[in-house]
């Protein structure tokens, strides 16, 4: 442990802002950030601002649920604490929404007109005002609803409205009963194989259009680079339309960012020589889809690095990028499907850690530092897809977007893991430095294999001999990931792994890890004993850029239930992240669920309870979660990590 | 990397570095998976970078421990290949017998190895996916047309056994046609390589196959008689590698 000092002072993993990831060149994220703990600590600017929120949280912005013991804090502005009134929602919102136009450029009237042709919100000014009216009496925060209702409802309001049932609650029913979610089970099936004579074209097209989500990457000249579903032949027509639209607006210096048609949202992202398009029927917001596209773009950069991407196109603008990207479909598919399936990690742009005793984590960190190879830049220990420990130089943080790419490669795409053995992978981590390559040593070990490594002297027999190859890598494996700028560092990192495993075995930490992995995520009911009404929650520590959650079991085990839950979380997330929203606490009710979102500069908390649960009850449960986190913080989050 | 006596085996043991090269999707990883785990995956994903695996190969008088670099065949990784073949004592260059371009690529790799790798490197040329053409008469490549049921998948032989073998003979390479899917000839390839490693390049007290030179092995290459050329003729797949 680099800093056993007070928790207020402990350096965080230091991940810099997702916002800066794609365009920063050179080394980024060097600034030191400080750990934050939940309120009521003194406020500080957060370094993990997601970029979707209002610029700088201040004390006045800091939210806190109105609990008896904290109502005496006069400096907490009442607007943040009034959410316990009998409102379904309260919002302070001004002007622009991230959902319609996200750049000043696109505020141009012509843009609005053009978008309104597709818009499903725009033609319903009557509905808008009606629903606004139904909310107006319950909104007890001073906000400029007059101007919002002026000549034209503001985009923010319209965007928000899209989340609201005209009746009395958030659109939770749709989130929970949404027949689209049922289709998630077919979403990842491949299309039928195209018949040689094209006779099954219609079938293919039907299957293709039934997909809930599409992602496309096109070169600026309109060549398809990637499509999640369908072959070139099938998508070429659509890609052509998309390209025409994009270049029409680019020609007018007014880039098309998003539009909706019926229930389908289209989002475009122009990145250098590439255009990326997301098409979603599952009610995600523009900002969420844009993040997903950013992530796909980061994957492309990670494969090629920015200079070589630019060089490819400056040499020949009509280059077919499929060739240099050959074989990365699995990575892009992995990302896409993760987004479609709905993962808390991507929704919250943060990572989950393995819950581990603080002393154990410290021993593991110390081991990492002790055996560190001079070739090492970053090291990660990942257990069952959750972070155990991070080792990094003092002046370099780990970018969450980069970590997401690594996790996707290791745990979603599967090609690395399926290979067994060890891997040596060149990759660009665009958040760290989008101009060059790093080299990643990856070793997956089952606890038994780890024991075998530990029991044999360094550089002696590898564990993976015929006798123990029956084990196929599973998500229960330990992944050791060491990243180096030196392409010849494989053997030195490999012996670092051997030393690490030996050291962890000696300190009994392998057993501790195996136990923690076996334990898995605790269900809500055991985290919050005494009959909590909560079925699930997500808690993100913004300072640490990490989140924690209980098990999806028993309520959300299957893919449909999980997608519905994630849709609900996405709705909550969107509403509290509408640009310039000062919304801090959101209550939402429906026939099937009661939900709460609570955002402060320190954390984001999303809670879901069964239907008909009183707000007060949910609120109390939410506070229990916060109390639990406060107690468990150093178990559920990596605070500081191993820094050298 | 360096020799180390196997703790439990009485026989001398040596490490041999082996690198797999070849066009994308010819089945390099599948051959390794068959050799190391005796398994096959119908839809194996492309390798990213390179995978490092080890597997022992028991010869009658010694144990060879292969340290295998399974490289990615995609072009963007090509520039990294020297890192993997630099100190390799052996190389397995793979092509897909149903894809003519993959033999062209294989020849490029072989030329590069002959230019750049260590001089004594033992090279095996392997035509993989033999199972796809099992029903066919072997011997003649069916140029272009693609007949019968093979047409739809394009799964017809495009490289004849003779073409591969003649080239291997010219260049003094070991030669096999294999199927990672059925396992046909897979262990034989590795056993033959183990046997062909010159004694002098092994640090163990005793040589491997006892002086069978690469040239001799290469010129005698026959599909199924391959393994019988050596002193350990009766060391079939079961007693040979992947034990
Ligand atoms: N029928 C058949 N298919 C095979 C055989 N060997 C490999 N394949 C298939 O061919 C595809 C590619 O195999 P890989 O082992 O991944 O090929 P690779 O050479 O490692 O490819 P890269 O890692 O991209 O260089 C996979 O779908 C395999 O299942 C074989 O002997 N017979
Ligand atoms: Mg491979």
**pLDDT for A376-403, tens place per residue?**
999 999 988 889 999 999 888 888 889 8
Q: How far is CA A491 from CA A201, A322, A458, A488, B199, in A?
A: 51, 33, 12, 8, 25
Taking an 8 Å cut-off on Cβ atoms, the answer to whether B49 and A469 are in contact is no
Average pLDDT over residues B64-75: 94
Ligand nearest to the CA of A327: 1
pLDDT of residue A567: 83
H or E element: which one contains A547? strand A546-548
| Greatest Cα-to-Cα distance within chain B, rounded to the nearest angstrom | 56
**Per-residue pLDDT, B178:** 97
Taking the C-alpha atoms of residue A584 and residue A59, their distance in angstroms, rounded to an integer, is: 13
How much is the mean pLDDT over chain A? 69
Pinpoint the alpha helices (H) of A542-607. Answer: 559-577
Q: What is the percentage of chain A residues whose pLDDT exceeds 70?
A: 65
Which residue puts its alpha carbon closest to atom 6 of ligand 1?
Answer: B27
**Edge to edge, what strands does the sheet with A351-352 contain?**
A351-352, A546-548, A534-541, A603-609, A594-599, A585-589
* Whether pLDDT at B44 is above 70: yes
Statement: residue A97 has pLDDT above 50: no
For residue A559, is pLDDT > 70?
Answer: yes
- Among residues 294-313 of chain A, which lie with CB inside 8 Å of chain B? 303-304
What mean pLDDT do residues A617-638 have? 91
CA dist A23 → A20, A26, A434, B197, B198 (Å)? 6, 10, 8, 51, 53
Of B201 and A260, the structure prediction assigns the larger pLDDT to A260
Among the partner-chain residues B6, B48, B242, the one whose CB lies closest to the CB of A415 is B48
Please tell me the predicted confidence (pLDDT) of residue A476: 63
Q: Is the pLDDT of residue B144 over 80?
A: no
A to B CB pairs, distance under 8 Å: 98
Sign of the CA dihedral running A206, A208, A209, A212: positive
Ligand 1 pocket test: pick from B44, B74, B135 the residue with the most ligand atoms within 8 Å of its Cβ. Answer: B44
Backbone angles phi, psi at A55, to 5 degrees: -45, -70
Average pLDDT over residues B209-219: 38
Interface test with A, best of B42, B48, B67 (most A CBs within 10 A): B48
Whether residue A318 lies within 8 A of chain B, CB to CB, comes out as no
Burial class (CB in 10 A: 0-12, 13-18, 19+), A568: buried
Is the pLDDT at A94 greater than 70, yes or no? no
B43 CA to centre of ligand 2 in angstroms: 11
Beta carbons of B81 and B71 less than 8 angstroms apart:
yes
Selected residue with higher pLDDT from A12 and A319 = A319
Tell me how far apart the alpha carbons of residues A64 and A81 are, in angstroms, rounded to a whole number.
6
- Is residue A635 within 8 A of residue A628, CB to CB? The reply is no
Find, among A432, A430, A434, A425, the residue nearest to A482 by Cα. A425
Q: Are strands B13-22 and A585-589 parallel, antiparallel or unpaired?
A: unpaired
Q: CA B45, CA A253: separation in Å to the nearest integer?
A: 42
Q: What is the DSSP letter of B69?
A: E
Q: Where are the beta strands (DSSP E) in A251-385?
A: 258-261, 264-271, 274-280, 351-352, 378-383
Phi, psi of A632 (to 5 degrees): -100, 0
Highest mean pLDDT among A303-317, A557-571, B93-107: B93-107
**CB burial of residue A188 (10 Å; 0-12, 13-18, 19+):** middle
Nearest to A33 by CA among A515, A434, A560, A400: A400
A93 has a pLDDT exceeding 70:
no
Going from the C-alpha of A430 to that of each of A321, A362, A483, B74, the distances in angstroms are 18, 29, 14, 21
Look at A25-39, A406-420, B81-95 and tell me which has the smallest mean pLDDT. A25-39
Grouping H, G, I as helix, E, B as strand and the rest as coil, residue A483 is: strand
Q: What is the ipTM of this complex?
A: 0.78
Q: What is the whole-number distance in angstroms between the Cα of residue A196 and the centre of ligand 1?
A: 24
Residue numbers in A near B29 (CB within 8 A): 419
Lowest mean pLDDT among A42-46, A638-642, B7-11: A42-46
Asked whether the predicted pLDDT for residue A409 surpasses 90, the reply is: no
Contacts of residue B53 in chain A, CB cutoff 8 Å?
419-422, 464
- Say how many Å lie between the CA of residue B28 and the centre of ligand 1: 6
- Residues A577-621 have pLDDT tens digits of 876 666 688 888 877 788 999 998 899 999 999 888 888 899 999
What is the tens place of the pLDDT at every residue in A261-285?
788 888 888 888 888 999 888 778 8
User: Which two structure tokens, joined as six digits, stand for B210?
Assistant: 């006892």
- B79 in ligand 1 pocket by Cβ < 6 Å? no
Q: Which residues are placed with Cβ below 5 angstroms of ligand 2, an ion?
A: B 28-29, 47
B7–A461 C-beta distance less than 8 A: yes
Is residue A33 over pLDDT 50? no
Q: Does the pLDDT at position B133 exceed 50?
A: yes
| Yes or no, beta carbons of B76 and A303 under 8 Å apart | yes
Query: Ligand 2 centroid to A23 CA: how many Å?
Result: 33
Of A521, A515, A526, the closest CA to residue A478 belongs to A515
Question: Does A430 have pLDDT greater than 80?
Answer: yes
A219 within 8 A of A225, measured Cβ to Cβ? yes
pLDDT at residue A75 greater than cutoff 70 = no
| Cβ(B29) – ligand 1 distance below 6 Å | yes
Burial of A86 (C-beta count, 10 Å sphere; 0-12/13-18/19+) = exposed
CATH number of B13-235: 3.40.50.300
Q: Which residues pair with A115 in a beta bridge?
A: none
Expressed in angstroms, the distance from the first to the final Cα of chain A is 10
To which residue do tokens 């603008």 refer? A317
What whole-number distance in Å separates Cα of residue A452 and Cα of residue A197?
55
The alpha carbon of B143 and the centre of ligand 1 are apart by a number of angstroms equal to: 22
Q: Which residue of B has its CA nearest to A455?
A: B7
Nearest to B83 among A326, A460, A488 (CB): A488
Specify the higher pLDDT residue, A81 or A408.
A408
Residue A457 pLDDT class (50, 70, 90 cuts): very low
Does the pLDDT of residue A7 top 50, yes or no?
no
Is pLDDT of B136 > 70?
A: no
Whether A330 sits inside 8 A of B1 (CB atoms) is: no
Query: Between A488 and A238, where is the model more confident?
Result: A488
Q: Which residues of A355-390 are buried (b: 16+ CB within 10 A; e: fewer)?
A: bbeeebbbbbbbbbeebbbebbbbbbbbbbbbbbbb
A417's enclosing H/E stretch is helix A415-418
| Bigger pLDDT: A257 vs A417 | A257
The beta-carbon neighbor of B50 closest among A327, A414, A424 is A424
Return d(Cα A255, Cα A103) in angstroms, integer.
9
Alpha-carbon distance B47 to nearest alpha carbon in chain A (angstroms): 6
pLDDT at residue A643 greater than cutoff 60: yes
Choose between A562 and A177: higher pLDDT.
A562
Give residue ranges of B with CB < 8 Å to any A CB: 1-2, 4, 6-7, 24, 29, 33, 36-37, 41, 44-56, 65, 70, 72, 74-77, 80, 83, 152, 242-243
Q: Is the pLDDT of residue B6 over 60?
A: no
B179 CB less than 6 Å from ligand 1? yes
List Cα–Cα distances, A619 to A574, A588, B194, in angstroms: 20, 12, 69
Q: What is the pLDDT of residue A324?
A: 85
Centre of ligand 2 to C-alpha B215, Å, is 29
Q: Which two tokens stand for residue B189?
A: 């390839």
Q: Which pLDDT score is estimated for A87?
A: 29
**Residue A214 CB burial class (10 angstroms; 0-12, 13-18, ≥19):** buried
Which chain A residues are Cβ-neighbours of B74 within 8 angstroms?
A: 326-327
Chain B contacts in chain A segment 399-418 (CB below 8 A):
409, 413-416, 418
Cβ-based neighbour number of residue B73 at 10 Å = 25
Tell whether the model's pLDDT for residue A175 goes beyond 60.
Answer: no
């Amino acid at each position: 442990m680099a800093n056993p000092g007070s928790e207020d002072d402990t350096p965080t993993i230091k991940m810099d802002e997702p916002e800066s990831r794609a365009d920063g060149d050179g080394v980024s994220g060097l600034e030191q950030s400080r750990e934050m703990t939940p309120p009521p600590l003194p406020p500080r600017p957060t370094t993990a601002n997601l970029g979707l929120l209002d610029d700088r949280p201040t004390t006045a912005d800091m939210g806190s649920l109105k609990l008896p013991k904290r109502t005496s804090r006069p400096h907490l502005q009442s607007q943040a604490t009034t959410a316990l009134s009998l409102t379904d929602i309260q919002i302070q919102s001004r002007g622009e929404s991230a959902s319609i136009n996200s750049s000043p450029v696109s505020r141009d009237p012509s843009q609005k007109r053009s978008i309104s042709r597709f818009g499903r919100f725009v033609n319903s000014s009557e509905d808008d005002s009606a629903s606004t009216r139904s909310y107006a009496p319950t909104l007890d925060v001073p906000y400029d609803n007059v101007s919002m209702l002026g000549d034209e409802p503001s985009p923010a309001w319209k965007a928000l409205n899209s989340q609201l049932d005209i009746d009395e609650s958030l659109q939770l029913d749709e989130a929970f009963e949404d027949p689209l979610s049922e289709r998630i089970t077919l979403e990842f099936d491949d299309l039928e194989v195209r018949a040689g004579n094209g006779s099954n074209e219609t079938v293919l097209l039907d299957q293709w259009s039934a997909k809930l989500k599409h992602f496309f990457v096109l070169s600026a000249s309109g060549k398809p680079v990637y499509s999640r579903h369908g072959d070139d032949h099938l998508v070429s027509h659509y890609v052509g339309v998309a390209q025409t639209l994009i270049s029409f607006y680019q020609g007018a210096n007014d880039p098309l960012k998003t539009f909706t048609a019926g229930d389908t949202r289209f989002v475009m992202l122009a990145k250098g020589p590439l255009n990326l398009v997301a098409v979603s029927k599952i009610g995600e917001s523009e900002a969420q889809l844009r993040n997903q596209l950013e992530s796909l773009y980061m994957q492309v950069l990670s494969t090629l690095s920015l200079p070589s991407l630019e060089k490819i196109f400056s040499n020949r603008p009509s280059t077919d990028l499929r060739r240099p990207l050959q074989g990365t479909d699995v990575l892009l598919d992995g990302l896409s499907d993760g987004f479609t399936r709905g993962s808390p990690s991507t929704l919250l742009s943060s990572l989950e850690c393995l819950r581990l005793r603080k002393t154990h984590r410290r021993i593991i960190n110390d081991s990492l530092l002790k055996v560190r190879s001079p070739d090492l830049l970053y090291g990660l220990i990942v257990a069952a897809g959750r972070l155990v420990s991070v080792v990094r130089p003092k002046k370099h943080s780990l970018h969450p977007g980069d970590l997401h790419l690594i996790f996707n490669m290791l745990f979603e795409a599967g090609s690395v893991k399926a290979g067994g053995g060890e891997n040596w992978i060149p990759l660009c981590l665009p958040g760290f430095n989008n101009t060059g390559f790093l080299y990643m040593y990856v070793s997956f070990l089952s606890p038994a294999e780890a024991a075998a490594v530990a029991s044999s002297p360094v550089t002696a027999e590898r564990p993976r001999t015929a006798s123990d190859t029956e084990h196929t890598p599973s998500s229960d494996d330990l992944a050791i990931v060491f990243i180096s700028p030196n392409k010849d560092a494989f053997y030195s990192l490999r012996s670092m792994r051997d030393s690490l495993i030996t050291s962890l075995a000696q300190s009994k930490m392998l057993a501790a890890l195996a136990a923690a992995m076996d334990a898995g995520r605790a269900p809500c009911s055991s985290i919050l004993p005494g009959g909590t009404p909560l079925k699930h929650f997500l808690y993100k520590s913004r300072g640490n850029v990490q989140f924690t959650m209980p098990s999806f079991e028993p309520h959300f085990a299957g893919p449909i239930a999980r997608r519905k839950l994630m849709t609900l979380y996405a709705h909550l997330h969107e509403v509290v992240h509408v640009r310039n929203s000062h919304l801090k606490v959101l209550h939402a009710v429906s026939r099937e669920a009661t939900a709460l979102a609570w955002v402060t500069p320190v954390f984001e908390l999303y809670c879901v309870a069964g239907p008909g649960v009183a707000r007060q009850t949910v609120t109390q449960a939410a506070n229990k979660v916060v109390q639990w986190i406060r107690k468990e913080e150093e178990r559920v989050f990596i605070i500081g990590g191993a820094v050298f | 990397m360096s020799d180390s006596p196997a703790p439990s085996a009485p026989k001398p043991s040596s490490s041999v570095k082996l690198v797999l090269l070849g066009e994308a999707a010819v089945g390099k990883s599948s051959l390794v998976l068959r050799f190391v785990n005796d398994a096959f995956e119908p839809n194996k994903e492309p390798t990213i970078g390179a995978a490092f695996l080890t597997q022992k190969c028991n010869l009658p008088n010694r144990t060879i421990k292969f340290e295998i670099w399974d490289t990615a065949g995609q072009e963007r990784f090509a520039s990294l290949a020297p890192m993997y073949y630099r100190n390799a004592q052996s190389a397995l260059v793979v092509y897909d017998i149903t894809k003519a371009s993959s033999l062209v690529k294989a020849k490029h790799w072989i030329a590069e190895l002959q230019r750049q790798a260590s001089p004594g490197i033992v090279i095996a040329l392997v035509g993989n996916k033999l199972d796809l053409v099992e029903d066919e008469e072997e011997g003649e490549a069916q140029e272009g047309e693609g007949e019968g049921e093979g047409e739809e998948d394009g799964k017809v032989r495009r490289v004849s056994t003779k073409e591969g073998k003649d080239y291997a003979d010219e260049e003094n390479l070991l030669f096999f046609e294999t199927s990672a899917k059925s396992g046909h000839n897979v262990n034989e390839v590795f056993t033959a390589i183990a046997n062909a490693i010159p004694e002098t390049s092994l640090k163990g007290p005793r040589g491997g196959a006892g002086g069978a030179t690469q040239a001799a092995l290469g010129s005698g290459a026959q599909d199924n008689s391959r393994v019988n050329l050596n002193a350990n003729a009766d060391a079939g797949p079961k007693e040979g590698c992947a034990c």
